[in-house]
Structure 1
Amino acid sequence: MGHSGLNQIEKKAAFSLAAVFGLRMLGLFMILPVFAIYGEQLVGFSPIWIGLAIGAYGLTQALLQIPMGMLSDKYGRKPVILGGLMVFLLGSIVAAMSETIYGVVLGRALQGMGAIASAVLALAADLTREEQRPKVMATIGMFIGLSFTAAMIVGPIVAESFGLSGLFWFIAFLTIAAMMMIQFIVPFSVNKAPRGDNVALPAQLGKLIREPQLFRLSLGVFILHMALTACFVTLPKQFVQAGLMLEDHWQLYLPALLGSFFLMVPFMIFAIRKQKEKQMFASAVLLLSASLLFFWYLPSTLLVLTILVVLFFTAFNYLEATMPSLLSRLAPAGQKGSVMGVYSSSQFFGAFAGGFLGGAIASTFGEAMIFLVMACFGLLWFIAATGMKPLKKSKSYSFATTINNEQQANDVVSQLVVSPGVIEATLVHTESVAYLKVDDKIADLAQIKLLLKPPVNE
């Protein structure tokens, strides 16, 4: 079979798993644009409980992300994914049936306990060849981005028609659809992809958390999602006060998000072509901080809010799209799964911190102060981002190898690291796998495979 494109199994895996991931993220995001308003109708309402309800899923998601990936390695991908979706479904039902803010917080925490992201990504890796894996992961990433956009538009429409309870029942329906796809459409995996590239390994985590370049990205994604969640503790109310009824909020989100995508793409192309990735990344962080500062400083007219939402999401989407790529290039060979585990946990901890801090700030200092505090965090991130080192262009690959002893493994690695285009090489002879970071425009993949499968001496 040729290596030029996805085969039928890879296409089926890419789109079905992307749809499952997208449906679940849609369910998590849909309350963002509406809960600040509808949550006021619940018994026990207060700004801090509103923030906790918005961000509660982040805490449980962060705590269970890595353990769920490890469980999928031991007991199989599909059983763990279906179990996670079942817990997510239970959380959605608890939230739908709750008349108190406390019940909704419990439901959202249960939703987060269905932490299937690492298991889904590992299954995607199991079902794809190493040459095609980046395309499949990119497809899943695209669907996550689309799910956020869809949630901003669909959430207000569903909530207006069926109320907050109806919104959670709709999320429960989406979860059942995702379970059906996992059971009946997603292919069953036979061969597992190498563990180090796809599942977090506990022994590696401490060292990776302390690595300065990776720490900057983990700090960044924490602040990015903290700012997003905190803003939605108050932003929907700002729109209503500016004269835009909740059922019409999609009319603002749709053009604003589409506009932000169109603005983002030229900057991404410029950064890659001119090799200005570090500078553009830092500029996007500065734009995010500036938009938050202006949310606090400028009068909240509809025109001002619309312009600032476009600027905020231009920066947000640029950073959200580029950070996983930067992460994969920074990740040591064979440790991508662990690096992604730390990164994902930081992202979800950020979502929880944003909800909690947003509610606490609103209760103590007023809702406008949320933007100023988040802008200060953004400036802290900007300072950290300016210290990033320039990155080499690279792709990560994992290859099967017939080498099964340490001496031979050391000899082959010594040859690999001096081969043209090879940036880093790790060979785990006990698992018969080699991890490489290469510049694939220079590296000779065919020659690398020959080195990894030497002829057996008679």
Structure 2
Amino acid sequence: MMNALERRSTFALSSIFALRMLGLFMIIPVFAVEGTSYQYATPALIGFAVGVYGLSQAILQIPFSLWADRFSRKPLIIFGLLLFALGGAVAAMSHTIYGVIIGRAIAGAGAVSAVVMALLADVTREEQRTKAMAIMGMSIGLSFVVAFSIGPWLTGLLGISGLFWVTTVMGLLAIFMLLLVPKTTRHHQKHNFDQGYLKQLKSVLKMADLNRLHFSVFSLHLLLTAMFIYVPSQLIEYGQIPLAKHGFVYLPLLLIGVLFAFPSIIVAEKYRKMRGIFLTAITGVILGLLVLVFGFTSKYILLLGLGLFFVAFNVMEALLPSWLSKAAPIQSKATAMGVNASAQFLGAFCGGTLGGQLLTLHQTAIGWSILLLIAVVWLVISFGLKQPRYLSSLVLTLPPEQDTNVLTQHILAVKGVEEVVVMAQQNVAYVKLDKRVLTDDGRQYLTQLFGKDLAI
């Protein structure tokens, strides 16, 4: 059961993620059609405008995350959200497709997704981590539901420039949510900060399972972005559904996906079946695309294929952050999440660019087949994943009038303890440990430090 601090922090950080993603996602289902109104617009440039935020995100996620492992995470998040808001304003005031591309690139430069995830990992216990990360994943899924439902409606009401102004407002609102998150101080068993940024990054890039997770998030968001450049025109042509009503298509499909995601997360965590659920979700993506290859000309087959994709997508969005938080090295947690976020947004960039190119093919079955092939390669690569390890957490009240730094050094000296996160204002510390490594002597020593029996 989450405690009050975890609930408040999870709500705030998930809201930051959702508000930011809401601003980004509202553009996706309408821009392939509405983007043609901009001067100099072509299908390729429209796809590039949708995906370019992913390119700047991909480039800057890793620098932001390297800094976040060494410095306070909150100021970095604020700076990134200000860039996001500025980019929305630039796009809103633009009259050419090139201006929109510049605005989207600036918005993407606020590359703090990994920093937000790392901060959430700091303020939640290991036993509640999957739940917290699942809630964050669900917030992304919910932002899809809302964005794809109201995006077409808001475009009709405010125009495409008004939609960009809404993204600016979303970014500014997200800054205020950060006030609900407690200030944290992190203490680690291992310190790699003296080896330089490049060695720190290389140590993360050498981990095979992390690289498989990075490829997974790249593939997922490539397919998602390409699909929403590619599918609106098909809903209009084959489904006879006007753009303004596309939200009524996406809403029920995404809600069904969210309903499937919750039990999947419970099974994955409670029964430690994360790998099996993960591979099943990729198979669901493949089945959805296979249906679209052969049935896109039928309105209801087209909707069936989209539904299968959305179910699998929501499960994956919930699983990936949780698995990554378990697999990432504690002392380089933000760095690993930064590489993952870079892969995610690079996938969005490639998906936007690919989707624009698919529009020029005028061979719909070939387009869906290309996306299907990418999903099959993803499944093959993911078979090498191993089940993640599971740590435990203790929530401890700090003893009065004791030097926190000295206390944390004593705790970290215990074999099996990997990290201590201190929230001094709340007088609380989270001790993250591996019960399989912790010895009886270690348990007794921790009991002596805190003057009471600990449930380990």
- Structure-2-length-normalised TM-score: 0.81
The answer for the alignment partner of 1:34 in structure 2 is 30
SS at match of 1:206: helix
Q: Whole-Å Cα distance in 2 between the matches of residues 51 and 219 of structure 1? A: 22
The answer for the alignment partner of 1:322 in structure 2 is 319
* Aligned pairs, number: 428
Q: Please tell me whether residue 57 in structure 1 is matched to residue 50 in structure 2.
A: no
Q: Please tell me whether residue 357 in structure 1 is matched to residue 351 in structure 2.
A: no
The answer for the alignment partner of 2:301 in structure 1 is 304
Deviates more, 1:249-258 or 1:117-126: 117-126
Residue 114 (structure 1) aligned to one of 104, 110, 114: 110
Greater RCO, CA 8 A, separation 6+: 2
The alpha-carbon deviation at position 24 of structure 1 amounts to 0.8
Deviates more, 1:302-311 or 1:319-328: 319-328
The answer for the alignment partner of 1:389 in structure 2 is 386
The answer for the alignment partner of 1:46 in structure 2 is 42
Q: Whole-Å Cα distance in 1 between the matches of residues 313 and 48 of structure 2? A: 22
Q: Whole-Å Cα distance in 2 between the matches of residues 52 and 444 of structure 1? A: 52
Q: Please tell me whether residue 216 in structure 1 is matched to residue 212 in structure 2.
A: yes
The answer for the alignment partner of 1:151 in structure 2 is 147
Deviations 1:348-406 (A, max 9, x none): 1111111112223433564553321111111011111223234455457899874759x
Residue 248 (structure 1) aligned to one of 215, 239, 245: 245
Return closer, same or farther for 1:437/1:216 CA change in 2, 3 Å cut-off: farther
Q: Whole-Å Cα distance in 2 between the matches of residues 445 and 173 of structure 1? A: 52
Q: What letter matches 2:385 in structure 1? A: M
The answer for the alignment partner of 1:282 in structure 2 is 279
Q: Whole-Å Cα distance in 2 between the matches of residues 271 and 128 of structure 1? A: 19
- Structure-1-length-normalised TM-score: 0.81
Q: Whole-Å Cα distance in 1 between the matches of residues 353 and 101 of structure 2? A: 11
Residue 180 (structure 2) aligned to one of 186, 207, 215: 186
Q: Whole-Å Cα distance in 1 between the matches of residues 198 and 164 of structure 2? A: 35
The answer for the alignment partner of 1:226 in structure 2 is 222
Q: Whole-Å Cα distance in 1 between the matches of residues 434 and 374 of structure 2? A: 35
The answer for the alignment partner of 2:168 in structure 1 is 172
Return closer, same or farther for 1:224/1:133 CA change in 2, 3 Å cut-off: closer
The alpha-carbon deviation at position 89 of structure 1 amounts to 1.3
Q: What letter matches 1:255 in structure 2? A: P
The alpha-carbon deviation at position 245 of structure 1 amounts to 1.0
Deviations 1:219-278 (A, max 9, x none): 111111111011111111111112111111111111111122334445555555665443
The answer for the alignment partner of 2:89 in structure 1 is 93
Q: Please tell me whether residue 67 in structure 1 is matched to residue 39 in structure 2.
A: no
The alpha-carbon deviation at position 94 of structure 1 amounts to 1.2
The alpha-carbon deviation at position 54 of structure 1 amounts to 1.1
Q: Whole-Å Cα distance in 1 between the matches of residues 330 and 73 of structure 2? A: 23
Q: Whole-Å Cα distance in 1 between the matches of residues 257 and 53 of structure 2? A: 27
Q: Please tell me whether residue 162 in structure 1 is matched to residue 158 in structure 2.
A: yes
The alpha-carbon deviation at position 17 of structure 1 amounts to 2.7
The answer for the alignment partner of 1:421 in structure 2 is none
- Specify every segment of 5 or more residues in structure 1 that has no aligned partner in the other structure, as ranges: 417-424
Q: Whole-Å Cα distance in 2 between the matches of residues 35 and 396 of structure 1? A: 45
Residue 258 (structure 1) aligned to one of 239, 246, 255: 255
Return closer, same or farther for 1:397/1:64 CA change in 2, 3 Å cut-off: farther
Query: Contact 1:362–1:369 (CA<8 Å) still a contact in 2?
Result: no
Query: Contact 1:401–1:434 (CA<8 Å) still a contact in 2?
Result: no
Query: Contact 1:96–1:168 (CA<8 Å) still a contact in 2?
Result: yes
Residue 289 (structure 2) aligned to one of 288, 292, 296: 292
Residue 17 (structure 1) aligned to one of 10, 13, 25: 13
Query: Contact 1:398–1:436 (CA<8 Å) still a contact in 2?
Result: no
Deviates more, 1:221-230 or 1:256-265: 256-265
Q: Whole-Å Cα distance in 1 between the matches of residues 199 and 127 of structure 2? A: 28
Deviates more, 1:125-134 or 1:374-383: 125-134
Q: Please tell me whether residue 238 in structure 1 is matched to residue 234 in structure 2.
A: yes
The answer for the alignment partner of 1:419 in structure 2 is none
SS at match of 1:193: strand
Query: Contact 2:55–2:349 (CA<8 Å) still a contact in 1?
Result: yes
The answer for the alignment partner of 2:80 in structure 1 is 84
The alpha-carbon deviation at position 88 of structure 1 amounts to 1.1
Return closer, same or farther for 1:120/1:138 CA change in 2, 3 Å cut-off: same
Return closer, same or farther for 1:253/1:427 CA change in 2, 3 Å cut-off: closer
Return closer, same or farther for 1:281/1:446 CA change in 2, 3 Å cut-off: same
